[in-house]
Structure formats: structure tokens, C-alpha cells
A and B are shown apart, each in its own frame.
Chain A
């Protein structure tokens, strides 16, 4: 099965802090996604990309930046973290947008 690796697995930061979440896939997938999951909200799309250097805005982009530096690597940046960004973050990848998503294990972020 396709592998998607997220790091770190857990992160605690303070309000106003900078956080970078990393995601790497070695499946030669074109599409990569960042979602957040909160109780009662399922998965909400933050940003996505269909290739190196490409970035598309998702449904809940405020307070987040993303960058796809290579085919393999997709980063999510929180430059001024707020408690409302405390959540479980999932990265996912797919060969194409009409193909299944493969998810990483998730990053649990707490903003105090």
C-alpha cells in the first residue's frame, strides 16, 4: 500500500508560535492534500496541490500556508498559531484527483 509519512506525530506550541507540519510520499502521486479533523466536523480541506510548485486553496485556508517543494514533499505552515488551530492534521496523496486517497498517520497539534 502507498506510504505517506507525516512528522511530527505530536506537537505542542504556544499562541503566536510558528509551526511547520511535514508530509512526504514516495508513491509518485501527483496530488497531495492537507486536512484537519475536529470532533463533529469530519475532515476539512485546508490546501491541496497537484504537483511541485502548485498550490490550491481549500475550504478552510485562513491562518495556514502551504508549500509543495517537490513531487514528494508538502508542508503546512502556521505562522501565528492560535488555539483554534488545535486539531488533528492529516496529509493524503493520490495518483490523480479521481483516485483514492492514501492518508498519513496524522499530526496532533495543540496550541496553548
Chain B
């Protein structure tokens, strides 16, 4: 059973545009969220983490978390072709198990 649902499966945005990615957990025992980015042929690397309700911004990246609905979103402004990658949402269950969604494939068109 998929405990983390990501949407959309794929997303195409123009260079300079805004990309918005979503992630929701169906497991009420989740307490931490991360966003990872995986370029083609590479291993995943953490982009951002969020554990508290609200918003967190780092450069062009903003992440939101609503703990009541267990929904997190990642927003990338001024998208660049180098942002083209698979974006993976990860969540920690309170038994220390960390599981991932299936990802959103982002393509930024020059």
C-alpha cells in the first residue's frame, strides 16, 4: 500500500516559470517530511526538509507543510533547465521507517 502519494506524476514548465509539486501521506503516524531531487543516472540528494506547520524558503525553493492533513508541497520559482529531475517526497513513520513516494518527473523547457 502506497503511504505517500505524489502529484502530478509529471510536469512540464517553461524556463523561468513556477513548478508546484504535491505530496500527501495516508499514514497518520508520519512526523517528518523531506524532498529529494534525483537527476537522471544519479542518486537522490536532499533538497529540503520540513517538520513543523508552515512554510520554509531556501533560495528559489519553498516548501509548505500542513500537519493536520499530512500534506506538503514544493514550489520552485524561476525554474531552470538544470531543475529537470525526479522529485521524491519522503516521510518518516514514528518507528523510524523512512518511505518514499513514486516521484514527480519535472521537465523545464528552455
CA A40 – CA B101 in complex, angstroms?
10
Residues of B within 8 A of A44 (CB): 99-100
Contact in complex: B46, A100 (CB < 8 Å): yes
CA A45 – CA B43 in complex, angstroms?
15
Interface of A is mostly: loop
Contact in complex: A104, B43 (CB < 8 Å): yes
Query: Which of under 10, 10 to 19, 20 to 34, or 35 or more describes the interface residues of A?
Result: 20 to 34
Q: Which of A31, A42, A44, A56 has the most CB of B within 10 A?
A: A42
Contact in complex: A101, B98 (CB < 8 Å): yes
CB distance from B39 to the nearest CB of A (A): 12
CB distance from B108 to the nearest CB of A (A): 21
Residues of A within 8 A of B71 (CB): none
CA A6 – CA B90 in complex, angstroms?
22
Interface of B is mostly: strand
CB distance from A82 to the nearest CB of B (A): 23
User: With contacts A103-B43, A104-B43, A106-B43 known, is A43 near B88, CB below 8 A?
Assistant: yes
B49 interfacial by beta-carbon distance below 8 Å: yes
| 6 smallest beta-carbon distances between A and B, as pairs | A97-B96, A103-B43, A42-B102, A43-B100, A100-B46, A42-B100
Q: Which residues of chain B have a CB within 8 Å of any CB of chain A?
A: 6, 32, 34, 36, 43-46, 49, 51, 88, 90, 92, 96-103
13 A-B residue pairs with CB within 8 Å: A41-B102, A42-B88, A42-B100, A43-B99, A44-B99, A45-B97, A45-B98, A48-B96, A56-B96, A97-B96, A98-B32, A103-B45, A104-B43
